[in-house]
Structure 1
Amino acid sequence: MPTYTVRQAAIQDVENLSEVFDFYRIFYEQSSDVIGAKAFLQERMDRQESTIIIVIEESTNRIVGFAQLYPVFTSIGMKRSLILNDLYIVNEHRRQGLAGRLLDAVYACGVELGVQGIELSTACTNYEAQSLYKQHGYVKDTKYEHYYVQC
């Protein structure tokens, strides 16, 4: 049984992380673009615009999953919040509790940063993810409707 480490990504992780990030984008029906993925992640880290938490398989030192958090602010609460924008585990490493471990690390990061809360969205048909999020304390927003416009 493999052992895993969960930790915050550092700049030296971008090369390996870009491959997993590309798998994530392909999962969401985007064209493969490892070079673009690397540039995107490098820019987020250089500008300190996101926090990325990674899962590493210890025997291979390979990144097999990640979660990416973006900071936002709540005017009403006058505090920072986080958006859990991305969460992905490589197929062959699923069903080992790694997504749950990532969610625990995301929560710990939020507590450490003193944020008001963590928000995420998922497909209405992604029942497995919805169940996992509920198990980790996330509740469905019944107070506000969320809208989106593509530019």
Structure 2
Amino acid sequence: MHVYQATIQDLEGITPLFNAYRVFYKQTSNISAAKAFMKERFIQQDSVIFVAVEDESYVGFTQLYPSFSSVAMKKTFILNDLYVDERVRGKRIGWNLLEAAKDYTYEVGAKGLTLETGHDNFRAQGLYEKFGYQLIEENRFYYFGVDEN
């Protein structure tokens, strides 16, 4: 398995994974919209994407969005997406993608990585906690929706 930072040349391989990720979160499958969204991320260079490839097949990805910590006066990242093809789970692919994200965060001198996952996504919670992520219980997460689609 090979994990590396993706470029627009990886768009065709990432698109089905991104679509499956959205379906996992109860969204309607839409390959063309998924491809357009990911293509825009590459063109705008507003996210950092790592992919895992095994035997020439794309088997997982993670996507980081940059943000900033005003208190620390440093860049930070939101690990917004992590997905591993269900047919190859249990092979440390998610772990290796988390490693790539962590290494990148160090390389660019960022403060850290933040993520969220569903209350019922126990498998992902276990991975994150085993990796060293800490659940921050003293903070509340708020959301203001402008477009509720």
TM-score by length of 1: 0.93
Partner of residue 74 from structure 1, selected from 62, 69, 81: 69
- 2:29 alignment partner, one of 21, 25, 32: 32
Unaligned runs of 5+ in 2: none
Match of 1:108 among 103, 112, 135: 103
Q: Deviations over 1:100-134 (max 9, x none)?
A: 11111110010011100100001112222111111
Corresponding residue to 1:97 among 74, 92, 104: 92
Number of residue-to-residue matches in the alignment: 146
4+ residue runs over 2 A deviation: none
TM-score by length of 2: 0.94
**How far apart in 1 are the matches of 2:85 and 2:122?**
19
RMSD between aligned alpha carbons?
A: 0.9
Q: 1:45 and 2:24 equivalent? A: no
Percentage identity across aligned positions? 40
- Secondary structure of residue in 2 paired with 1:17: helix
Deviation at 1:37, TM superposition (A): 0.8
Read off the aligned partner of 2:33 and give its amino acid letter: G
| 1:16 alignment partner, one of 13, 16, 22 | 13
